[in-house]
């Protein structure tokens, strides 16, 4: 079956702009989580969506937002970009129905803010 698909793979934006990243989970997976990965901070949890509802949220400013659609596809948005937002953004999906078997990650979107 198809894996987790993230688009785009690479993105270059200017400070102050906004950006939208997309994630299509594995078919049947209803939980989608987003992580930010930087060399300095490692993998930081952004938020998790389950059945179109934000179920958990990490410690990020309000400039970071997301949503999930009825087909479980998810988008995250970062407004008023800052240089420090340059990172690899990873999306992960999980079944989380009867039990939990870990996440399947996408290849990520590399965002560079200049």
Partner 1 sequence: SQQGEEDPQALSIQEGENATMNCSYKTSINNLQWYRQNSGRGLVHLILIRSNEREKHSGRLRVTLDTSKKSSSLLITASRAADTASYFCATDAGSGGSYIPTFGRGTSLIVHP
Applying CB under 8 A, the residues found at the interface with partner 1 are 4, 6, 33, 35, 42-43, 45, 48, 50, 55-56, 88, 90, 92, 94, 96, 100-108, 110
Least Å from the CB of residue 10 to partner 1: 10
User: Rounded to whole angstroms, what are the CA distances from 5 to 63, 70, 81, 98, 109?
Assistant: 23, 17, 23, 24, 10
Least Å from the CB of residue 53 to partner 1: 11
Using an 8 Å Cβ cutoff, are 24 and 91 in contact?
no
Least Å from the CB of residue 8 to partner 1: 14
């Amino acid at each position: 079956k198809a894996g987790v698909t993230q688009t785009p793979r690479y993105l270059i934006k200017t400070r102050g702009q906004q950006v939208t990243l997309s994630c299509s989970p594995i078919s049947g997976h209803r939980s989608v989580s987003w992580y930010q990965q930087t060399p300095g901070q490692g993998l930081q949890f952004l938020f998790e969506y389950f059945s179109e509802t934000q179920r958990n949220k990490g410690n990020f400013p309000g400039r970071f937002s997301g949503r999930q659609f009825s087909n479980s596809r998810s988008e995250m948005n970062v407004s008023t970009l800052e240089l420090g937002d340059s990172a690899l953004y990873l999306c992960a999906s999980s079944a989380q129905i009867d039990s939990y078997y870990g996440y399947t990650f996408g290849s990520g979107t590399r965002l560079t803010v200049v």
